A = this chain, B = another copy of it.
Amino acid sequence: MSGQEEWHNSPIGVFDSGVGGLTVAREIMRQLPNERIVYFGDTARVPYGNKSKETVTKFSRQIVNFLKKQEVKAIVVACNTVSAYALEELEQETDIPIIGVMKPGARAAILATKNKKVGVIATEATVHSGIYTRYIKENDANVSTLERACPLFVPLVEEGLWEDPVTDEIARRYLSELIDSGIDTLILGCTHYPMLRSTVAKIMGEGVTLVNPAYETARELKMLLAEKGLESEHRPGLGTELYRFYVSDGAEKFKQLANSILTYGILSAKVVNIEEY
């Protein structure tokens, strides 16, 4: 750090268990084009969604330590499972602002619902935590919620079956109870799920609004930076590393998947031994 006056030009740290968080990074790139980003994907230990609170918290703490070494000015937890299990501990332990995807997602759903019935689809861990329901109730006690875990969605996305009869069949099973319940708003409560948006939209039907927390998270980040005077003053020039990508395993494979999510090419991704942090 070359001095306090430079701090607002530091990058934003964004992390996820793997590539899914790039859907959040993509929204930050769109809405905050002046901001540099350091992205970390924990590809050696992915997935988090079926692991315990203790393990997810331990892994997240190591990543926060890594990002702090990169001198980030704020951290976005682009992973619903981490947001559900570890965000409160991480906030208490860390002296820079940390935001998750769940509070923004919950607020967006409350604004979207007209019949006060909101559904949530997410990993087992996120559903088990019940935190989407808690956040929604805290904001509007009149909204009722129904949460449903969709454990096969992440492997189906990672296999590239974004639109496929098998994905349709699995989605029909996962979503049937949500359709019957009459919700008018559905939170895509896992960063992989926006890739299945068209499948989910087709099965839920036109009357149901799909909420992607990534969009709201980037908006919240923008407000937070403004509030704290942490906005970058100008778009970093050519030659400045605008976006840097780190993973704990498989840099090549990450780059391939990342390039199908982001609209521009990732120049490089470096491997980090995350267990040392």
Interface string of A223-261 (1 = CB under 8 A from B): 000000000000000000000000011100100000000
* Chain A contact residue count (CB 8 A cutoff): 23
Across-interface contacts of A55 in B (CB, < 8 A): 44, 248-250
Q: Which residues from 77 to 136 on chain A have a C-beta closer than 8 Å to any C-beta of chain B?
A: none
Copies of this protein, total: 2
Is A152 among interface residues, defined by CB-CB distance under 8 A?
Answer: yes
Of A27-35, A164-172, A194-202, the one contacting chain B is A164-172
Is A45 among interface residues, defined by CB-CB distance under 8 A?
Answer: yes
Across-interface contacts of A166 in B (CB, < 8 A): 166, 169-170
10 interchain residue pairs of minimum CB distance: A155-B155, A55-B249, A44-B55, A275-B275, A45-B45, A52-B250, A52-B249, A51-B249, A166-B169, A151-B159
A237 to B172, CA, bound (A): 52
Q: List 23 A-B contacts (CB under 8 A).
A: A43-B51, A44-B45, A44-B51, A44-B55, A50-B158, A50-B250, A50-B253, A51-B250, A52-B249, A52-B250, A55-B248, A55-B249, A151-B155, A151-B158, A152-B155, A152-B156, A152-B159, A155-B155, A165-B169, A166-B169, A166-B170, A169-B169, A275-B275
User: Which residue on chain B has the smallest CB distance to residue A43?
Assistant: B51
A56 to B130, CA, bound (A): 34
Residues of A that sit less than 8 Å from B by CB: 43-45, 50-52, 54-55, 151-152, 155-156, 158-159, 165-166, 169-170, 248-250, 253, 275
CB distance from A150 to the nearest CB of B (A): 10
CB distance from A18 to the nearest CB of B (A): 10
CB distance from A246 to the nearest CB of B (A): 14
Across-interface contacts of A52 in B (CB, < 8 A): 249-250
A64 to B50, CA, bound (A): 25
A156 to B170, CA, bound (A): 11
